[in-house]
Chains A and B, each alone.
Chain A
């Protein structure tokens, strides 16, 4: 596993699970049965599935809170299946539901635990605690000395994440970390996690039973059915467009296409150019443009190139050549970072079915209308479908290889 050095934060490490199995003594069926997957360095993988499907068990086998009965775990290429579990866990961040903070320690003491255990010098621990509190959006001066009891659920959860990150581990395991907070705070914490990950690039394995949370956060999602069998392991886009089977589509729920729109930003689709004029242009020029352009309408920009008014052909005539009175004001714009769902919303509420796209400072960049939206969505869905088919094929091959190996094993007499 890559060690963190002073200056640079450790980025993620790969995680490979190889035929991981857990059989509890006294129960005939395994709780987790032959799970194999490869998690790339720096990606967020979500385990999602109904309760009792073994997703938490699988997660806890990665840091060996639960010892696997069979199979191997490799982190960063190193086999950790037989390593000292205490040492292993100090290199893996761990965050759980309702934070799991120690009530008799202050926020700072909670965060400092792991760095202390791995023997960081005191000044470095102190600096790290401040840095982490800042990172998770809590004012170090104010929260440093508080006890967990004095924090709201959301704040506790932030401290929990800070503690998991404290010794700068390459891998982070999160077991339904946002399961116990109210929906608004949860939404907020999810955004924060996404922002954190943009900065940190850790490898994160995240367990949840909330599919919407999974699509929001995950780079890839593993939909697990009972005994942790992987029903589908793919990008959120692919799972939404092409669920592998009825189980997965049941989990995805209704409105998959709409959910899909959340995952693409306006900058990823084609923006049409629109004829524009500015307030500074002479009236005659504006008339010419209106006549010359193929469309019925042109967009009037203000002095700072922000969308100002939609002008129709007759508008100027009716307003007797006064730009101040002519046209309809632009009511709504979307930025390039907006999701397609936001854009669709804006297009649907606009009376002419189009919306102006603006840049960082509100300057005009283009227009999205119903037609371009529909076209790009169709293209997206088609591409997703092809991707998903390919991945599914891979999964099937893997599975058949596994079954084959098992049968070989059975014939070889290793099993009774």
Chain B
């Protein structure tokens, strides 16, 4: 069907285009440096802390604060607070972002954004105090505070990601006969995934940080160690609380960055 002349042109066209990529494995998307350096550093930090504690002589107050599995309990609570709050942030902020980019609700966007901004502009501690007055102490108040604080990055990134989609592409999607839901699910969201994930990553790290404040509302977490350390003037306790928080935050950030790389749709990568 194609003339020889045509094939020749094809070849010329070809020369300009990139060669087909070798079959990629997930390994090709994530370099081994990315995979190893940060965990190695974190392990080293934890190891150093542990060694230091072995030779440090702790008085009874410090002993009390750290014994009886209290550290692992605080760590576990902290992780729970982070995971649960992030989960709620996602199921609130992403659907809300989708809704606010639909034609019918587009006008409500500034109002919703103003609320989300207020949530983040309010000092987290003040917000928590208010919630405790309203709901009483406990994990619930702490969780709600964390969630309100972290909605903004996910919401604004979801909206930005969906808005950044090329309108002619969306029109093409409608033009070939996709239903509005199909356009959203198969074109809009996949293309917005990188930005949405960046928002989620920000929220996760933010949540690890804010969860240290949960202790003021009786929510537990690593904040307990930090406050104990400060009020009793016991450096080791304070140090341990802070180091664990930092390590957790870095670890979560690293995991999220891996997720970002793995979940980014193929074909959107610049270097393919």
Please determine whether A103 and B191 come into contact, CB atoms closer than 8 angstroms.
yes
Among the listed B2, B177, B190, B268, which residue makes an inter-chain contact with A137, where contact means beta carbons less than 8 Å apart?
B2
A86 and B178 contact, Cβ closer than 8 Å, known pairs A100-B168, A150-B20, A152-B13? yes
Please determine whether B267 and A137 come into contact, CB atoms closer than 8 angstroms.
no
Complex-state Cα separation, A237 to B171, whole angstroms:
35
Question: How many residues on the A side are at the interface (Cβ–Cβ under 8 A)?
Answer: 46
Please determine whether B169 and A86 come into contact, CB atoms closer than 8 angstroms.
no
Q: What residues of chain B lie closer than 8 Å to A151, measured between beta carbons? A: 17
CB of A83 within 8 A of chain B?
no
Please determine whether B268 and A150 come into contact, CB atoms closer than 8 angstroms.
no
Complex-state Cα separation, A149 to B186, whole angstroms:
18
- Which A84-131 residues have C-beta < 8 A from chain B? 86-94, 96-98, 100, 102-106, 113-114, 117-118
Please determine whether A150 and B21 come into contact, CB atoms closer than 8 angstroms.
yes
Q: What residues of chain B lie closer than 8 Å to A86, measured between beta carbons? A: 177-179
CB of A188 within 8 A of chain B?
yes
Please determine whether A113 and B176 come into contact, CB atoms closer than 8 angstroms.
yes
Minimum CB–CB distance for A22 against chain B, Å: 16
Question: How many residues on the B side are at the interface (Cβ–Cβ under 8 A)?
Answer: 33
Please determine whether A96 and B267 come into contact, CB atoms closer than 8 angstroms.
no
Among the listed A93, A100, A154, which residue makes an inter-chain contact with B13, where contact means beta carbons less than 8 Å apart?
A154
A137 and B171 contact, Cβ closer than 8 Å, known pairs A106-B267, A152-B17? no
Q: What residues of chain B lie closer than 8 Å to A104, measured between beta carbons? A: 190-191, 265-268
- Which B214-272 residues have C-beta < 8 A from chain A? 265-268, 272
Please determine whether A147 and B169 come into contact, CB atoms closer than 8 angstroms.
no
> Besides A100-B169, A137-B2, A145-B20, 18 other CB < 8 A contacts?
A89-B177, A90-B176, A96-B168, A96-B171, A96-B172, A103-B267, A104-B191, A104-B265, A137-B6, A147-B266, A148-B267, A149-B267, A150-B18, A151-B17, A152-B17, A155-B17, A164-B176, A195-B1
| Residues of chain B having any CB pair with chain A under 8 Å | 1-2, 6, 9-10, 13-14, 16-18, 20-21, 168-169, 171-179, 182, 186-187, 190-191, 265-268, 272
Top 6 nearest A-B pairs (CB, nearest first) are A100-B172, A147-B267, A90-B177, A104-B265, A89-B177, A94-B175
